Structure 1
Amino acid sequence: MIERVATCRCGQLRVACTGDPIRVSVCHCLECQKRSGSAFATQARWPEAQVEVIGTASLWSRAGDSGSLSTYRFCPACGATMAYVNEAMPGMIAVPVGAFADPKFPSPRFSVYEERKHAWVAVLGDDVDHQE
């Protein structure tokens, strides 16, 4: 079975994910833009049983645009967000795709909050579900 390991920038915090992700998505909401420092965020989700967080993580929570609570695990040394859970998707853990540093990572199949998408951004693919 495939295992993917995401690491923070300093390497202190790692997230090991077993198997293929259940969902890979791009989010254009303003909070994800802030979290990623980019015009969007790309994340992959696995069932909690297939994810192991290794190292010391700090936690921070906030209500999202939908009103549901998200709790983030980030490295207390370098500040990188490494994993998060959202009440709207119980039993699932999301990991930022960039933390895997793998250009061959599976492409997103969902693009959400597109009403907040920057005009110059295009999420391509015949099988992408585009949601406002």
Structure 2
Amino acid sequence: MQGRCNCGAVSASFANGPVQTRQCWCRQCQKAAAGGPTHNAMFQTADVTLTGDVARWSYLALSGNTLTQSFCSACGTPVYAQSSARPQFMTFRLGFLDEPHGLAPEMAIWTSEKPAWAKIDPDLSSYPGQPPAPATR
């Protein structure tokens, strides 16, 4: 599996598939996704090879952890996020990944933050806040 930003300056390859896929409704993700959720795939950091220049922005998330968002410094495409509590994982936006990746969210997280109009797929596991960490391989 591989991925790249809109301009091609940042790319990633993945030695293994994701450990989890998520739909996130936290307010920060809603801002990044123009009001809806972000759709993300969590990979083990050791499985990721990243090339290119990324810019970063960090903030204290509702979980109490520092979340660092990384994006292409040339075109601004969101690339990945990483939590201070889980450095063993890098969470990539599904839109960054090259098609056909065939991934879909397995769970919806931070649903307590979703807007009143949002509908959560009842087939997804749902968490009002931070879910448990996925297992590492």
Alignment TM-score > 0.5, same fold: yes
Identify the residue that residue 50 of structure 1 maps to in structure 2.
Answer: 47
Q: Is the CA contact (8 Å cut-off) linking 1:15 and 1:83 kept in structure 2? A: no
Measure, in 2, the Cα distance between the counterparts of 1:32 and 1:7. 20
Partner letter of residue 46 of structure 1? F
Following superposition, which runs of at least 4 residues in structure 1 exceed 4 angstroms of deviation? none
Paired residue secondary structure (2:70): strand
- Per mean C-alpha deviation after superposition, the further-off stretch among 94-103 and 76-85 is 94-103
Identify the residue that residue 129 of structure 1 maps to in structure 2.
Answer: 125
Q: CA deviation at 1:124?
A: 2.8
TM-score by length of 2: 0.83
Residue in structure 2 matching 1:90, options 66, 87, 91: 87
Q: Is the CA contact (8 Å cut-off) linking 1:25 and 1:108 kept in structure 2? A: yes
Identical aligned residues as a percent: 25
Identify the residue that residue 28 of structure 1 maps to in structure 2.
Answer: 25
Q: Is the CA contact (8 Å cut-off) linking 2:2 and 2:98 kept in structure 1? A: no
Q: CA deviation at 1:103?
A: 5.7
Identify the residue that residue 63 of structure 1 maps to in structure 2.
Answer: 60
Measure, in 1, the Cα distance between the counterparts of 2:101 and 2:12. 18
Measure, in 2, the Cα distance between the counterparts of 1:78 and 1:87. 26
Q: How does 1:106-117 map to 2 (within 5 A)?
A: 106-117=103-114
Q: CA 1:33–1:8 in 2, change beyond 3 Å: closer, same or farther?
A: same
Q: CA deviation at 1:116?
A: 2.1
Length, aligned pairs only: 128
Deviation per CA, 1:47-90: give whole Å up to 9, x if none.
Answer: 11100111111122111121200112211111112112112323
Q: CA deviation at 1:101?
A: 4.6
